[in-house]
Structure 1
Amino acid sequence: MLKTILVCAALLTTAVQANVGKVSEIGEALDLDQYRQEVKTLASDEFEGRAPLSAGEKKTISYLTRQFKEMGLKPAFHGSYTQKVPLAKITADQNMTLKIGDLSLDNGTEFTARTQQIAEKISLDKNEVVFVGYGINAPEYNWNDYANVDVKGKTVIVLVNDPGFASKKDEDFFQGNAMTYYGRWTYKYEEAARQGAKAVFIVHETMPAGYGWGVVQNSNTNTKFTLIDDNNNMSQVGVMGWMHMRAAEKVFEAADMNYRDMQKAAAKPGFKAQPMNLSANLTMNNTIEREESQNVGAILPGTENPDEWVVLHAHWDHLGKAMENGKEVVLNGAVDNASGVAGVLELGRVFKAQSEKKPFKRTLMFSAFTAEETGLIGAEHFAKNPPVPTSQIVGFLNIDGMNVNDGVDYVLQYGGGVSELDTYVENTAKKQGRSVKADPRPQNGLFFRSDHFALAREGVPSVLFMSLGDTDPSFIANKYHKSGDDYFASWTLGGVKQDLDLIGQIMAELANNGDWPQWTTDSEFKQKRQEQRP
């Protein structure tokens, strides 16, 4: 009996592998040796972690433009392969202490603080502290944590994620365990700024955040970048902070509150913001540099509808250098996201070669933007300053980390099937003998955490292709945004071949079929697209 079971299991495994191995003409044309070399190059120490406004950026931009020129693609930005992105480079002096009441919190281990305001000094001086629950104002969910409270000029403490996470299985409450945009840290800062707050501290917990404190620490205690508006970003919140959960517990105790009790209360409808009768003091000194970073892009012009663009994208930047265990290390970002950039380059070569035999009707764009890791900044600039109107962008396909290991019999879906592009993914995966698998970590809100989201906010149907740990369980814990995210010669690249084949088939179909995918879920994205293309 056992032998029979083992034989059947072996046959099933072989059948799955056979189906997963099905490839199209696009898949057959992929050169994985070339792909491997591109990842190895971009993720080498020579590129210094590809931080914006660094020597690593110059090498990256030079490498990408050279590759696009050599493959014969045309410049995407009105005769140029690059688009200037004006940035402020803000470096906060890390010798700072946050005092709340009689407590003194240590920078890096108990809190982090940064700013996007173009100011050399930002101070909290006996600043009143208010707990505003999740810091959400969502009329469609009949939820407003800022109702009947004035936080102008004050410091607010907010919880990470949204109330749906606390409800776990109640999918009718926000979106249950799946994070909405209201749960993202970016939204928390945006809403606090709209409410007039001077400082925000988000309480970090690993499960609802989706990553450990080490990620917060690495991402917020070094140089950060921001776009610059006409008022030096003074409309943004002054202090963008995080607070370790253990530090938050001490702060709540100092306010005669129990953190867990307040957390439970904040997850229930009708919660009211609570003044904490504490004051916050902090002095943050910043070094400001104004420079220009670069987005990179190339196009394969369409022959019949050249003003209609299908975009394939992967952000080129990573985090540069950081300190780990008292030693400076290079954060090479091999999977995140040299693997995605190499995928864009490889499909660019494949489509250029295929166009020589049979041209495509629509224009195909191959892009790599800057400063994704510091808040989708390059993508935001592109979305506001596109080479063609966003109403003419058919769809935006974004790669942010590829499966560099063996192929699998599924494709991960992020965002819960919010646009018709997800139907394209499902249908193409079926041709490969694969199924669509829901995001295993919907509470992490990955749909809101990569460059496509900036385009989605402008109405462009977008889809995210990401593999950060589903085939390597140790990746998030040990490698994500750490020095462990390196290139390894042991990578089999089976998943890369699968997914580039799938993405390529979708692009080829959209390039010729005249379809305009729509948003299928009611949202600001859907409304904007309907206004663009009634």
Structure 2
Amino acid sequence: MFAFQRLTAGLCLLASSMAVFATDSGDFNDTNLHQHIKTLASDQYGGRGPLSPGERLSIDYIAGQFKQLGLEPGYQGQYLQPVPLAQVTADQAMTLTVGEQQFKVGSDFTARTHQMRDHIELKQSELVFVGYGINAPEYQWNDYRGVDVTGKTVVMLVNDPGFATQDPTLFKGNAMTYYGRWTYKYEEAARQGAAAALIIHQTDAAGYAWGVVENSNTGSKYTLVDNQGNAEQLPVMGWLHQEAAKRLFTSAKLDLNALSRQAAQPGFKAVKMNQAASLSFANRSTQATSHNVLASIPGGERPDEVVMIHAHWDHLGTNESDGHIYNGAIDNATGVAGILELARVLKAQHAITPFKRTLMFASFTAEETGMIGAQQFAEHPPIPTKQIVAFLNIDGMNVGDQLSYILRYGDGVSELEAYLQKGAAEQGRTVKPDPRPQAGLLYRSDHFAMAKQGVPGLLFMSLGDNDPDYIPHRYHKPADDYDPRWSLAGMKQDLALMATMAADLANNSDWPKWLEESEFKTRRAQDGR
């Protein structure tokens, strides 16, 4: 109720201080949008994999467009921010062996690493089922309590107990928390000293089918480089298909369904599986520098206060084993096209009446492999993060016709929701809650790296609103290709909404606040915001 009251108050305040700027979908050019998407999602760009020839084509194209529009370079006088990356490729000629059972890579499991070693090996590593693999003091939850998993292989469930029980008082009920994300689970397993982690996939709990896991984990992956060759990261990061997991637990004379129910209850204790896993694979790693692309429209009165608009430029690249190109037309060539058109439209507005605050346009690398470019920006920003007012993030746009609604990811999270609600109402649209809160989209795109630094953000994502076939058959698959028949009316509708919101934020003195108690709110308070 408190969050609702805060949001209502925010709407009243916003209504009395709206900027005079307002954009219409007609301000955005169909030809420009089609050309940007067609170019970035072409086979020539090879799926825009970081450190691939497609990276140079992508960042040159984006930076060239910013320069042509007359935007200022956004990083130390340059359009490109260096991101020290390692490209790590696990040889897929691998087999997971547990006792007499063998599991096939791809159909039964996936495995990879961020460690920069030529060979990765698990040798008779003891298996321990650790429930959801969560250690969350604020929820009085610790799946690792009373068990030492040093050098062992932990097996865990995807998502968190709130989703499993649908109990709104447990974690966040149906809505996934960060503790349900695979990124967190691997990080916590590493902190616990594990040698490997295997996450049991379930389509409903993960929010995507096994094919997404397989396609996303069997090619080259990327990670920031540290001075120890990433030795502190988890040696083996794996997934288990649900049917493979059932076989594994049956062979251990354990009931996976019963243990899953127990794991969702407070007080769960880890279970030794009395089996050991063996796995080895060759590993190829190379170090190189990837790049974020940054440009700005400096504010006229308070240029040190920054409103950011962003879309990641990378996708999954080209699969070396089968030659398939993952062009990522919707995810996220549409988003990049969107920020380029936003930059053009807002630059034209700025030429008439300068914005008070700076508008920064960003396109980060390596989002698909763990928000790495965003992490580099958040930890090494060209301006202090306490000076960033808000972060508007586009990750997939509606290429079809206009809609009567806009999706809101998260509920009562920050005062930016008031801006979304006001802007949508001006367009005659309603705001609908995330239809799949269990998928945890709030934690799965680049705005989350900024949230960790206390910067509130909004995610704009439309993955199949006009096309129910997209998620099951094209998302993170080679079929995510450009189609010249797209009307892009919905895309222009959403861009008009974002432009109005960005202009409002760039012209007022508001610092949108976090509504719910969280580590993000605490971090923002440390900056005096």
TM range (shorter): over 0.9
**Matched position secondary structure for 2:324:** strand
**Matched position secondary structure for 1:500:** helix
**Matched position secondary structure for 1:282:** strand
**Matched position secondary structure for 2:403:** coil
Other-structure match for 1:508: 503
Q: Which of 86, 89, 92 pairs up with 1:91?
A: 89
**Matched position secondary structure for 2:117:** coil
C-alpha displacement at 1:104, in angstroms?
A: 1.1
Other-structure match for 2:191: 194
Deviations 1:461-512 (A, max 9, x none): 0110000122211100110011111111221112111110110001000101
The residue correspondences of 1:18-29 to structure 2 (distance < 5 A) are 24-29=22-27
Other-structure match for 1:373: 368
**Matched position secondary structure for 2:85:** strand
CA distance in structure 1 between the partners assigned to 2:115 and 2:402 by the alignment:
45
Q: Which of 464, 467, 470 pairs up with 1:472?
A: 467
CA distance in structure 2 between the partners assigned to 1:533 and 1:501 by the alignment:
32
For 2:283, the aligned partner's letter is N
Residue 297, structure 1, aligned to residue 294, structure 2: yes
Other-structure match for 2:143: 145
Other-structure match for 2:413: 418
Kindly indicate whether the alpha-carbon contact (under 8 Å) linking 2:159 and 2:181 is maintained by their aligned counterparts in 1: yes
CA distance in structure 2 between the partners assigned to 1:32 and 1:415 by the alignment:
31
CA distance in structure 2 between the partners assigned to 1:487 and 1:224 by the alignment:
24
CA distance in structure 1 between the partners assigned to 2:106 and 2:435 by the alignment:
30
CA distance in structure 1 between the partners assigned to 2:51 and 2:234 by the alignment:
24
C-alpha displacement at 1:422, in angstroms?
A: 1.2
Other-structure match for 2:446: 451
| Same amino acid, percent of matched pairs | 57
Residue 154, structure 1, aligned to residue 149, structure 2: no
CA distance in structure 1 between the partners assigned to 2:311 and 2:35 by the alignment:
17
CA distance in structure 1 between the partners assigned to 2:101 and 2:32 by the alignment:
56
C-alpha displacement at 1:140, in angstroms?
A: 1.6
Other-structure match for 1:498: 493
CA distance in structure 2 between the partners assigned to 1:391 and 1:510 by the alignment:
15
CA distance in structure 1 between the partners assigned to 2:300 and 2:431 by the alignment:
33
Please tell me the root mean square deviation across aligned C-alpha atoms, in Å: 1.2
Q: Which of 303, 311, 315 pairs up with 2:312?
A: 315
Other-structure match for 1:357: 352
C-alpha displacement at 1:26, in angstroms?
A: 5.0
CA distance in structure 2 between the partners assigned to 1:513 and 1:435 by the alignment:
24
Q: Which runs of 5+ in 2 are unaligned?
A: 1-20
Q: Which runs of 4+ in 1 moved over 3 A?
A: 23-28
Deviations 1:120-176 (A, max 9, x none): 2221111111000000111121111011111111100000011111112x2111111
CA distance in structure 2 between the partners assigned to 1:276 and 1:45 by the alignment:
47
Other-structure match for 1:255: 252
Question: Cα gap change, 1:108/1:86 in structure 2, threshold over 3 Å: closer, same or farther?
Answer: same
**Matched position secondary structure for 1:388:** coil
Q: Which of 239, 243, 246 pairs up with 2:243?
A: 246
**Matched position secondary structure for 1:328:** coil
Q: Which of 381, 385, 388 pairs up with 1:393?
A: 388
Residue 237, structure 1, aligned to residue 234, structure 2: yes
CA distance in structure 2 between the partners assigned to 1:380 and 1:327 by the alignment:
31
Other-structure match for 1:31: 29
Other-structure match for 1:340: 335
Kindly indicate whether the alpha-carbon contact (under 8 Å) linking 1:26 and 1:350 is maintained by their aligned counterparts in 2: no
CA distance in structure 1 between the partners assigned to 2:67 and 2:333 by the alignment:
19
Deviations 1:258-317 (A, max 9, x none): 111111111111111000011111112111100011100100011111111100000000
Other-structure match for 2:60: 62
Kindly indicate whether the alpha-carbon contact (under 8 Å) linking 1:310 and 1:395 is maintained by their aligned counterparts in 2: yes
For 1:257, the aligned partner's letter is L
Other-structure match for 2:522: 527
For 2:150, the aligned partner's letter is K
Kindly indicate whether the alpha-carbon contact (under 8 Å) linking 1:145 and 1:272 is maintained by their aligned counterparts in 2: yes
Residue 77, structure 1, aligned to residue 75, structure 2: yes
Deviations 1:33-57 (A, max 9, x none): 2111111111111111111111111
Kindly indicate whether the alpha-carbon contact (under 8 Å) linking 2:398 and 2:490 is maintained by their aligned counterparts in 1: yes
Kindly indicate whether the alpha-carbon contact (under 8 Å) linking 2:48 and 2:317 is maintained by their aligned counterparts in 1: yes
**Matched position secondary structure for 2:78:** coil
Kindly indicate whether the alpha-carbon contact (under 8 Å) linking 1:295 and 1:378 is maintained by their aligned counterparts in 2: yes
C-alpha displacement at 1:328, in angstroms?
A: 2.4
Q: Which of 224, 235, 238 pairs up with 1:227?
A: 224
CA distance in structure 2 between the partners assigned to 1:498 and 1:70 by the alignment:
24
CA distance in structure 1 between the partners assigned to 2:26 and 2:462 by the alignment:
22
Residue 53, structure 1, aligned to residue 42, structure 2: no
The residue correspondences of 1:195-214 to structure 2 (distance < 5 A) are 195-214=192-211
C-alpha displacement at 1:25, in angstroms?
A: 3.3
CA distance in structure 2 between the partners assigned to 1:489 and 1:530 by the alignment:
47
**Matched position secondary structure for 2:435:** coil
**Matched position secondary structure for 1:57:** helix
Question: Cα gap change, 1:24/1:510 in structure 2, threshold over 3 Å: closer, same or farther?
Answer: closer
Other-structure match for 1:282: 279
For 1:36, the aligned partner's letter is H
Kindly indicate whether the alpha-carbon contact (under 8 Å) linking 2:23 and 2:497 is maintained by their aligned counterparts in 1: no
C-alpha displacement at 1:28, in angstroms?
A: 3.6
For 1:58, the aligned partner's letter is R
Kindly indicate whether the alpha-carbon contact (under 8 Å) linking 1:46 and 1:56 is maintained by their aligned counterparts in 2: yes
Residue 383, structure 1, aligned to residue 381, structure 2: no
Deviations 1:194-218 (A, max 9, x none): 1111100000111111111111111
Kindly indicate whether the alpha-carbon contact (under 8 Å) linking 2:24 and 2:493 is maintained by their aligned counterparts in 1: no
C-alpha displacement at 1:529, in angstroms?
A: 0.2
CA distance in structure 2 between the partners assigned to 1:428 and 1:352 by the alignment:
20
Kindly indicate whether the alpha-carbon contact (under 8 Å) linking 2:292 and 2:373 is maintained by their aligned counterparts in 1: yes
CA distance in structure 2 between the partners assigned to 1:39 and 1:509 by the alignment:
28
Other-structure match for 2:264: 267
CA distance in structure 2 between the partners assigned to 1:475 and 1:517 by the alignment:
34
Other-structure match for 1:41: 39
**Matched position secondary structure for 1:367:** strand
